[in-house]
Structure 1
Amino acid sequence: MAKKLREKPAPEIVSGLRLQEMAYGGEVVARLPEASAAPKGGPAATEELPEGAEEGDFQPLKEPVETELVAPPVPAGSQVVFVTGGLPGETVEVQLYRRKKSFIKANVRNVEQASPDRREAPCPYFGVDKWPNCGGCQWQHADYAAQLNYKHNILRDQMVRLGGFVDREPPLLSPLAAVSPWGYRNNVEFQVDEHDGRPCFHRQNSIRLVPVQSCHISHPLITLAIEPLTRALQKHLPRRVHQVTIRVGGVSGDAPISAEEIAALASYSEDPTRKLAALERFLAVGPLELALEKPRPTMLLVLRMLGEWQVTDLQPFLEELQRSLDRYVELTVVGEGRKRRLEAVGGDPFIAEALDGVTYRVPPLAFFQSNSPMAVELVREALGAFGEAGLNLRGKRLLDIYCGVGTFALQMARRGAKVLGIEEYAGAVEGAAENARLNGLEDQCSFVAAKAEEYILELEAQGEHYDGALVDPPRRGCDPALLHSLLKTRPPVLVYVSCDPSTLARDIKILSEGYELVRTRAVDMFPQTYHMESVSLLRAK
């Protein structure tokens, strides 16, 4: 007997929906009357797909997003809808595609009344009206000044809802704008299509892949590298690489670049004059021949290899890339195998970057801020917070917790502080110590591989006291045990650098037992997306 096919239900469409505030996650919140929110059709209508999507397009990512959507309070008789593709204040027609207990997810089908902040997105892969689309950016359709306002309001909202600022306004300063809204990312990870070897990003909310020829938020050299990378993968390593990470260094002093100039560098651009002009603009002021006399930026590619391989397998791949890119960058290719086995060909097996007078060597797999020009501003903002607290760094004893390769520790040491950096990952600690020697700061700072929550208690027991501490945790925020250790040892000044406003707000509430929040400021390291860094100053009570 033939299997009966399930009839696909008609899409659920809602018109005249008024969009309200921007939510953390990059979607806009709307309130839908319960009568309109009731499922139509059969049980399948509770998990519909956007028009044009295929079964399997909306599956959980292999690396789940850590931020949980929490529906804000709504009037009785209505349900929250998180809408992709809209802007606050707009009236839109949407297609509902996913229902949860406390909210619905929807995509904009048509903008009935546009916001004055709406603009045309320059990226050919951005937008719910394109299929397939890339999920890397959320706000390319919004004016940049509006994006800064969204981030400020999201930070405030998280502080009110999760940080305990119910009866008073959180002390927020105006956001620090990005040096360039486009072409800022110094590292990008591509998935490699197993069938044709093309570099891809993930589709919006999906594990499926989108082949790309450009990325408007990546450094221009990365867009320039996509076509030769594709050719080298297809010719020399077919079906042998499943991921490629491209990192560029020596770009912290780059001038801003426009979205139009990035498009001119893509392989789909057919205007060689515009391409040459774009190359001259971001490499230097003046003719390209003069620019090429300057020290070249470094580009490091990490290939995550499949199966058995030898380092000699990487040489033809490198030579193919060099034929296209050697004029512009110094190339290194690193193969990564099982158990993090690393083999390199070409240049140095690290990325070098200079921030505010300090040079950093970053190993292939180590973390470093992904926006080099804004990393300079982030460092200045964090160190300036100590000054706001009346703490002159010269001669002071400071802790740098989650210190990584020494991004903040070396800057504090350069300004005369005696710094102890604590980091659990031993490889990063080795890199930090090497960076200290590279900059002649080994007498000003030291580093230890340890769990900070335990180590600072040991220091306290030994009678070691510090004038201040800086914490720069990953997106999940500080370990709860570390927060309690900080409350026990209570350094007088605490500077918290965060990349997630929700975990920041949670931690600020816990720390309020012994600290007062003096101020917080969003630092826009990630234009066109909802992500942000922030710097908070706390003073011991």
Structure 2
Amino acid sequence: MRKKNKRQVFENVAVVDAGAKGKTIGKAPDGRVIFLTNTVPGDIVDVQTTKKRKAYFEGIATQFHSLSDKRTTPECEHFGVCGGCKWQDMGYEHQLFYKQKEVANNLRRIGHLELPEITPIKGSKKQYFYRNKMEFSFSNSRWLTLEEIQSDTQITDKNALGFHIPGMWDKILDINKCHLQADPSNAIRLETKDFATKNDITFFNPRNQYGMLRTLMIRTSSIGEIMVLVQFYENDASKRVLLLEHLKNTFPEITALLYVINPKQNDTIYDQDVLCFAGRDHIFEEMEGLKFKINAKSFYQTNSEQAYELYKITRDFAGLTGNELIYDLYTGTGTIAQFVAKNAKKVIGIESVPEAILDAKSNADNNEISNVDFFVGDMKNIFNEQFISEHGIPDIIITDPPRDGMHKNVVQQILNIAPQKVVYVSCNSATQARDLELMKELYNVTKVQPVDMFPQTHHVENVVLLEKKSILDNN
């Protein structure tokens, strides 16, 4: 029988760095790394280990002997319990430092790349209330605090409308005020919960699969439009209309009031019919005079202001003259493709999600952009020699893949085409570095620009410009 690893306690551990996935780093007496979840670089703490591996430990700080000067007071009352915004206790300037450091480390250590001087990370003007999309879950058995559990008072209100507790799919933390999305987001969420509770509209029980109210999604745009989508598990028409009519009357500023009836085991809506109760079935976002229609299933960068900065950097890195044929890989709803189109001869967008391509085509028509074409298909299959022979060899490729990065066949096809420039936009610099290593024999990394899309978290976007090596470079 395998013995369980005994937990260990290390005293006076200096927290020296911040690492991947937002964890901080200390050193055990034997030199092994300790990954911590509740500290800030500069803290000196006692550590209780939770996992032991050959090369490292994982643990939590149980006592703080000295607090880091990098610390700041978290804004949110739910900090430490809610799974989001884990860096709220670290000053924003230090968050930016560690995000840039992670990008540089990944590109050098994983990609083994020679880098130019990295441009300082583009910080966000808004450190709170910057998200344009939030999704909340209902539960009839909310997460109880330790004080509530130990109290002699009987708990009567067990309904919750908030976020999943990290690692606990069936436990929902009831949120009083979220600092991620601007008003009226909090007001809409709180009114929804209050009205449903008073009118006996049941909250979902995820473990036993019953209850009427399942999720609430709120989307906003920089031009003041608001989408609210309520997902119902049980189909009680009278109570559904009662709630939606109340939201319509209480918040007349809602542009699109939608609902889904989803009796599946999971709460994804991408295979469900979205029904419009009031207003439009979409909202609009605007950027440099371009309007983008966003429906309930659309992908759009969740920080509108920083998305604009990200797209400007992408366009600047491309260095367009107006004569280029551009391929925009993983184009999504075609936002980057349309954003650069006015500076290019032609843009070809490719995406695997059919609904996204329909949105891209619709947006291009609405924006009267005629020099873009969009195609749907699995990238590693559609992006082949036949496609290139039909549409032309691109001068520049812009690629913005999901977190997993590009399939190796896609990387190889880029190398086969060998355009003069590749602009690689990534939300995961580790997989970006892996892909860039495969391309370094043919390309130099000439520009690197991190962008902070998600303040108070460890996540960071990064834009890299690759320029084709000359014959002299290769010699």
- Regarding TM over 0.5, the answer is yes
AA in 2 matched with 1:458:
Q
Tell me, what secondary structure is at the counterpart of 1:410? helix
Q: Within 5 Å, give how 1:21-170 maps onto structure 2.
A: 21-33=17-29, 77-127=30-80, 133-165=81-113, 168-169=114-115
Q: In structure 1, give the amino acid aligned to 2:174.
A: P
Q: Deviations over 1:367-396 (max 9, x none)?
A: 110001111111111101112xxx32x232
Equivalent residue number for residue 269 of structure 1? none
User: 1:271-350 residue pairs with structure 2 within 5 A?
Assistant: 297-308=224-235, 314-326=240-252, 328-337=253-262, 339-350=271-282
CA distance in 2, matches of 1:486, 1:146: 37
Given the alignment of the two structures, is residue 508 of structure 1 paired with residue 436 of structure 2, yes or no?
A: yes
**Which residue of 455, 458, 474 maps to 2:382?**
455
Residue 456 of structure 2 is aligned to residue 524 of structure 1: no
Which residue of the partner structure matches residue 418 of structure 1?
A: 346
Q: What CA distance in whole angstroms lies between the structure 1 residues aligned with 2:95 and 2:68?
A: 13
Change (3 A) 1:493 1:183: same
Distance 1:531 1:519 in 2: 20
SS at match of 1:529: coil
Per the alignment, residue 191 of structure 1 pairs with 137
**Structure 1 residue 308: Cα displacement:** 4.3
Q: Which amino acid aligns with 1:408?
A: I
Question: Match for residue 177 of structure 1?
Answer: 123
Of 440, 443, 446, the residue aligned with 2:373 is 446
Contact 2:124–2:306 under 8 Å retained in 1: yes
Q: Distance in 2 between matches of 1:317 and 1:342?
A: 17
SS of 1:361's partner is strand
Q: Counterpart in 1 of 2:219?
A: 247
Superposed CA offset, 1:276-327 (max 9, x none): xxxxxxxxxxxxxxxxxxxxx22222333324466x764322222234322x
Match of 2:284 among 352, 359, 363: 352
Distance change >3 Å, CA 15–CA 354, structure 1 → 2: same
**Aligned counterparts of 1:462 and 1:434: Cα–Cα separation in 2:** 23
Distance in 2, Cα, partners of 1:437 & 1:521: 32
Change over 3 Å in CA distance of 1:502–1:102 after alignment to 2: same
- Does residue 216 (structure 1) correspond to residue 193 (structure 2)? The answer is no
Describe the SS at the equivalent of 1:332.
strand
**Displacement of 1:463:** 7.3
Q: Distance in 1 between matches of 2:16 and 2:200?
A: 51
Q: Distance in 1 between matches of 2:6 and 2:387?
A: 65
Q: Percent identity?
A: 25
Partners in 2 of 1:476 and 1:180 — Cα distance? 28
The CA distance in 1 between the partners of 2:354 and 2:6, in whole Å, is 55
Deviation digits for residues 102-140 of structure 1 (CA, Å, limit 9, x no counterpart):
33222223332222211111111112xxxxx00111110
Q: 1:400–1:471: 8 Å Cα contact kept in structure 2?
A: yes
1:13 to partner: Cα distance: 4.0
1:486 to 406, 414, 418: 414
Q: CA deviation at 1:499?
A: 0.5
For 1:354, the aligned partner's letter is: E
1:240-288 deviation per Cα after TM superposition (whole angstroms, max 9, x unaligned): 132222211235xxxxxxxxxxxxxxxxxxxxxxxxxxxxxxxxxxxxx
Aligned partner of residue 215 in structure 1, secondary structure: coil
Q: How many residues align?
A: 431
Shift of 1:353: 0.4
Matches of 1:98 and 1:324, distance apart in 2: 50
Q: Identify if the C-alpha distance between structure 1 residues 236 and 360 changes in structure 2 by more than 3 Å, giving closer, same or farther.
A: farther
Change in CA separation of 1:459 and 1:90 when aligned onto 2, cut-off 3 Å:
same
Task: Indicate if the aligned counterparts of 1:175 and 1:523 stay in contact, CA closer than 8 A.
Answer: yes
- Measured after TM superposition, the shift of residue 79 of structure 1 is 2.0
Contact in 1 for aligned 2:123/2:452 (Cα 8 Å): yes
Of the structure 1 ranges 407-416 and 95-104, higher mean CA displacement relative to structure 2 is found in 95-104
Using the alignment, how far apart are the partners of 2:436 and 2:194 within structure 1?
49
SS of aligned partner of 1:25? helix
Q: How many angstroms apart in 1 are the aligned matches of 2:58 and 2:218? A: 33
CA contact (8 A) 1:397 1:419 kept: yes
Q: Which residue of 2 aligns with 1:397?
A: 325
8 A Cα contact 1:232 1:321, kept in partner: no
Counterpart code for 2:64:
V
Cα distance, 1:483 vs. partner?
0.8
For 1:28 and 1:437, how far apart are their aligned partners in 2?
A: 48
1:214–1:226 Cα contact (<8 Å) kept: no
How far, CA to CA, are the matches of 2:94 and 2:391 in structure 1? 50
- 2:20 aligned counterpart, secondary structure: coil
| Counterpart residue type for residue 491 of structure 1 | P
- Residues in 2 aligned to 1:458 and 1:237: alpha-carbon distance in whole angstroms: 56
Amino acid at match of 2:35: F
Counterpart among 1, 11, 32 of residue 15 in structure 1? 11
Structure 2 segments unaligned to the other structure (5+ residues): 142-157, 203-210, 265-270, 470-475
**Higher mean C-alpha displacement, 526-535 vs 406-415:** 406-415
Q: Which amino acid in structure 1 is aligned with residue 220 of structure 2?
A: V
Q: Give the deviation of 1:96 after TM superposition.
A: 2.4
- Aligned amino acid, residue 523 of structure 1: V
Quote the offset at 1:202 in angstroms: 2.1
Q: Return 5+ residue gaps in structure 1 as ranges.
A: 1-8, 34-76, 128-132, 252-296
Please give the TM-score of this superposition, normalised by the length of structure 2: 0.85
TM-score in terms of structure 1 length: 0.75
Q: CA RMSD in A?
A: 2.2
Deviations 1:470-518 (A, max 9, x none): 1111111112211111111122111111011111111111121322211
Counterpart in the other structure of 1:273? none
CA distance in 2, matches of 1:407, 1:184: 19
